[in-house]
């Protein structure tokens, strides 16, 4: 992407999305721009369309109307297989339920994105497994856990594995969907500070979706999707 021509990493223009079988759009966003390197906090009540928005930004779904441009690519104009490759190459996703593979070890889960994306693997400096171990160290995961199945880890430990998996290979965009919902206040704040540190080192853009208002001051900017979304119907 030529940042001099298009300074936005994400640009939405007149975007509507209507789920099949519904008469009323779930999303109606006239305009949204997110800059490269920005840390954006996305808030709003359940049902305001946050999950639907993330599905459009990752190319899992495509807009019914309007333009969803990510890293200079109009996701509605490319095929499903190209969107899958684009997502694997450019987006690190921390799911609310982590989506770690239980039969794989901690390290194997972290390096998994680089098995699907040659681009992210090529962006790793040095040995892949050593890079994964370094990320886990930075996220304060005990070295003795690296070769254990992830099912043996606590929820907080699994969060750090999910964050390392999203960060490996320096993807341009990190999306975190309610990743701290099961942690107490102290652990939530510590996790976010570590995540922001790693995102800064990777020069990535971070979109963080949360209901927790105590985390909002840690971010560059926040948006309330209920206010931005001119429909506000349930997602």
CATH number of the domain where residue 110 is located? 3.40.50.300
Under 8 Å between Cβ of 50 and 42: yes
- Edge to edge, the sheet with strand 65-70 lists 27-34, 10-17, 65-70, 73-74
φ/ψ of residue 12, rounded to 5: -110, 130
Q: How far is CA 193 from CA 44, 215, 216, 218, 220, in A?
A: 22, 10, 12, 8, 13
Q: What is the largest CA-CA distance in the chain?
A: 53
CA–CA separation, 43 and 67 (whole Å): 22
Q: Does any domain span residue 70?
A: no
pLDDT at residue number 97 = 84
* 2 pLDDT above the threshold of 50: no
Q: What is the mean pLDDT of residues 142-162?
A: 93
Domain that residue 89 falls in = 37-57+79-228
Q: How far is CA 73 from CA 34, 87, 134, 197, in A?
A: 14, 11, 32, 27
State pLDDT tens for residues 29-61. 999 999 999 999 999 888 888 989 999 999 999
Q: Does any domain span residue 104?
A: yes
pLDDT at residue number 140 = 85
Q: What is the mean pLDDT of residues 3-15?
A: 79
Under 8 Å between Cβ of 104 and 91: no
State pLDDT tens for residues 170-207. 999 999 998 887 777 777 777 888 889 889 988 899 99
Q: Does any domain span residue 87?
A: yes
CA–CA separation, 83 and 191 (whole Å): 30
CA–CA separation, 25 and 149 (whole Å): 42
Q: Tokens standing for 141?
A: 């995961």
Q: Does any domain span residue 9?
A: no
CA–CA separation, 50 and 26 (whole Å): 10
Q: Does any domain span residue 13?
A: no
At residue 86's C-alpha, the angle toward residues 66 and 104, to 5°, is 130
Q: Does any domain span residue 65?
A: no
**What rounded mean pLDDT belongs to the chain?**
90
pLDDT at residue number 18 = 94
State pLDDT tens for residues 105-133. 999 999 999 999 999 999 998 999 999 99
Residue by residue, DSSP assigns 141-195 as: --GGGTTSBGGGS-HHHHHHHHHHHHHTT--SEEEEESTTTTS-HHHHHHHHHHH
Q: How many domains does the chain have?
A: 1
Q: Does any domain span residue 182?
A: yes
φ/ψ of residue 40, rounded to 5: -110, 130
pLDDT at residue number 185 = 76
């Amino acid at each position: 992407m030529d940042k001099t021509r298009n300074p936005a990493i994400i640009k939405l223009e007149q975007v509507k999305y209507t789920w099949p079988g519904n008469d009323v759009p779930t999303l109606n966003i006239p305009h949204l721009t997110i800059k490269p390197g920005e840390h954006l906090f996305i808030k709003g009540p359940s049902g305001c369309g946050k999950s639907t928005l993330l599905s459009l930004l990752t190319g899992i779904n495509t807009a019914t109307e309007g333009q969803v441009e990510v890293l200079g690519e109009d996701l509605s104009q490319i095929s499903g297989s190209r969107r899958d490759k684009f997502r694997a190459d450019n987006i690190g996703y921390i799911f609310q339920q982590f989506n770690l593979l239980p039969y794989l070890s901690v390290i194997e889960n972290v390096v998994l994105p680089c098995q699907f994306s040659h681009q992210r693997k090529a962006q790793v400096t040095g040995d892949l497994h050593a890079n994964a171990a370094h990320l886990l160290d930075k996220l304060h995961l005990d070295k003795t856990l690296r070769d254990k199945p992830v099912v043996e880890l606590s929820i907080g430990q699994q969060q750090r594995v999910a964050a390392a998996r999203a960060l490996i290979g320096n993807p341009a965009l990190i999306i975190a969907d309610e990743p701290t919902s099961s942690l107490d206040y102290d652990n939530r704040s510590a996790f976010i500070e570590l995540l922001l540190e790693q995102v800064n080192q990777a020069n990535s853009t971070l979109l963080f979706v949360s209901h927790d208002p105590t985390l909002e001051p840690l971010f560059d900017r926040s948006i309330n999707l209920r206010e931005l979304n001119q429909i506000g119907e349930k997602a």
